[in-house]
Amino acid sequence: MCASPDSLRVIPSNWLGPLSLESMFGCKPRALEVDLGCGKGRFLLAHAARHPEVSFLGIDCLLLRILAVEREARRRQLSNIRLVYVEACYAISYLLPARSVTTFYIFFPDPWPKRRHHRRRLFDEGFLNGLDRTLIPGGAIHIATDHEDYLEAIRKVFSSDGRFDPGPPLKLDARERTDFELQFLNKRLPIGRCSFRNV
Ligand SMILES: C[S@@+](CC[C@H](N)C(=O)[O-])C[C@H]1O[C@@H](n2cnc3c(N)ncnc32)[C@H](O)[C@@H]1O
């Protein structure tokens, strides 16, 4: 088991180079799973508790959310979680070491439904470059969204990219549902999911 440092929040000393996973986790992770846009961390906290042998990184661009997840991870004494307050595409383009991530979770990314805002969406060729750079061969990406149009757009980006194949679907315990997932389920709204594998 890796040692838990004073702060679970990692502030990179070099914003241009790859993070040292060994320094972050206190030892070389056997497997690294990353929750991009972890929000309030309901999934991340529950999943990390169920898999103490795996190292988890939660990334979000809202500092208050990162601080809330950190507080809760500490309260639950989860030593396998680290958090970074940073934009997701930047993190996978520059901060995460190449070929280091076994699994990405991207749950309920902001759908930006208006056409003029589509360019703000996370999934585009540049984002896939970052996923491809950081995933180990065979590494997985699991995505969930309540937005049908966005789900189709995401599938389209992946299907036109030879670096990824459709992957086996993710099976999660009900206790691992995300905060947004619970909101949509309460409103009886359908949830779309897709998974891909880096070939
Ligand atoms: C709709 S919420 C979903 C949160 C969580 N995944 C869930 O399912 O409950 C989207 C989250 O992604 C974060 N986010 C949005 N765009 C981001 C980006 N480009 N980089 C990092 N985080 C981002 C937001 O701050 C927010 O916490």
3-state secondary structure of 188: coil
Whole-angstrom Cα distance, residue 163 to residue 131?
10
Q: Residue 110 C-alpha to ligand 1 middle, in angstroms?
A: 6
Whole-angstrom Cα distance, residue 83 to residue 59?
6
Structural domains in the chain (count): 1
Is residue 62 domain-resident?
yes
pLDDT score of 7? 84
Is residue 121 domain-resident?
yes
Q: Residue 180 C-alpha to ligand 1 middle, in angstroms?
A: 10
Is residue 64 domain-resident?
yes
Active site annotation includes 110: yes
Q: Residue 92 C-alpha to ligand 1 middle, in angstroms?
A: 15
Ligand 1 pocket check: which of 35, 38, 172 to mutate, most ligand atoms within 8 Å of Cβ? 38
pLDDT score of 4? 58
pLDDT score of 1? 42
Whole-angstrom Cα distance, residue 121 to residue 168?
24
Whole-angstrom Cα distance, residue 157 to residue 159?
6
Residue 60 CB neighbour total at 10 angstroms = 24
Q: Residue 91 C-alpha to ligand 1 middle, in angstroms?
A: 14
C-alpha distances out from residue 164 to 34, 127, 140, 155, 159, Å? 18, 13, 9, 11, 8
Is residue 11 domain-resident?
no
Q: What is the CATH number of the domain that holds 117?
A: 3.40.50.150
Task: Report the atom number in ligand 1 closest to the C-alpha of 180.
Answer: 9
Whole-angstrom Cα distance, residue 92 to residue 122?
12
CB burial of residue 73 (10 Å; 0-12, 13-18, 19+): buried
Whole-angstrom Cα distance, residue 80 to residue 49?
8
Identify residue 22 by its one-letter amino acid code: E
Is residue 178 a contact partner of residue 42, using CB atoms and an 8 Å limit? Answer: yes
Task: Print pLDDT tens along the chain (199 aa).
Answer: 454 567 899 999 999 989 999 999 999 999 999 999 999 999 999 999 999 999 999 999 999 999 999 999 999 999 999 999 999 999 999 999 999 999 999 999 999 989 999 999 999 999 999 999 999 999 999 999 999 999 999 999 999 999 999 999 998 899 999 999 999 999 999 999 999 999 9
Whose CA is closest to atom 27 on ligand 1?
39
Residue 82's domain comprises: 23-198
Is residue 75 domain-resident?
yes
Is residue 130 domain-resident?
yes
Is residue 3 domain-resident?
no
Is residue 35 a contact partner of residue 44, using CB atoms and an 8 Å limit? Answer: yes
Residue 100 CB neighbour total at 10 angstroms = 20
Is residue 72 domain-resident?
yes
Ligand 1 pocket check: which of 108, 131, 178, 181 to mutate, most ligand atoms within 8 Å of Cβ? 108
